[in-house]
Amino acid sequence: MNATIQYNSRKLQINLNKPIDISIPLRASEENVRAWYVDAPIIEPVEDGDQKISVKDGACINFNTISFNPHAHGTHTECVGHITEKVHSINQQLCTFFFLAEVITVAPERLNGDFVISKKQLKFALGNKKRDAVVIRTIPNTKEKLSAHYSHTNPTYMLEDAAIYLREKGIKHLLVDVPSVDKEKDECLLLAHNAFWNTSGKLRLDATITEFIYVPNHVKDGEYFLNLQIAPFENDASPSKPILYNVMS
């Protein structure tokens, strides 16, 4: 089914029959992607006395408790409350859910032994395009990203001036396929987070960062319509399910 959507001053033709899910599912498994020095998520039946409340154990329903950390265990969307003393909830700050997005592919550069996403790379990929969101796929882009354990690996991160560039360009929603836009161990400076949310000036309360996405290789760089879905958690971050739709005109 195709839909015509009036978005700002443009009419967009969207193919709703072919959603592109760029989230990583959460599984109760050692194979679940994770970072930040935590164990795997747990999904297990509630126990009532000696009985596990699951159909296979004789109950009439499945009734699981899930223990996980949204920042560490898969695709999640966070607001400025992630780094502020004042509480800000993603459920209160993200109030619209459809955005014009650009998917770009970046080969991280080497800098002092690290792999980084630079301002120069983003400027080259985005040029004069006006977008609400940018979706960054790093290469190499293997399926190992779906189950990688990132703790103590110093994964790719974004430089501060790159985050400033995105903020000044008006990008409200930043989506990346790494555990964090910042370096794993940076003495808690969080330079890219602070720059993107403008914590030294007027806070960008309606801006979000989504981490731990996975953009399959068959998805071409270019313009998409993004549906950024979150669970209604009153927390700085929530598990999320970003969906891309091809724009046909």
Asked if residue 137 lies in contact with residue 177, where contact means CB atoms within 8 angstroms, the answer is yes
* Residues 72, 76: Cα–Cα separation, whole Å: 9
- pLDDT, residue 10, reads 87
pLDDT of 41 = 98
Other CB atoms within 10 Å distance of the CB of residue 128: 5
- Structural domains of the chain, with CATH: 2-26+70-246 (3.50.30.50)
Mean pLDDT by runs of 10 across the 249 residues of the chain is 85 93 97 98 96 96 98 98 98 97 98 98 97 98 98 98 98 98 97 98 98 98 98 98 92
Angle, nearest 10°, between helix axes 160-169 and 119-126?
30
Task: Find all residues with CB under 8 Å of 161, minimum gap 6, and list them.
Answer: 118, 119, 195
pLDDT confidence of residue 38: 98
Q: Dig out the tokens for 16 from the structure.
A: 């709703």
Output the pLDDT for position 2: 83
Give pLDDT, residue 249: 66
Per-residue pLDDT tens for 196-243?
999 999 999 999 999 999 999 999 999 999 999 999 999 999 999 999
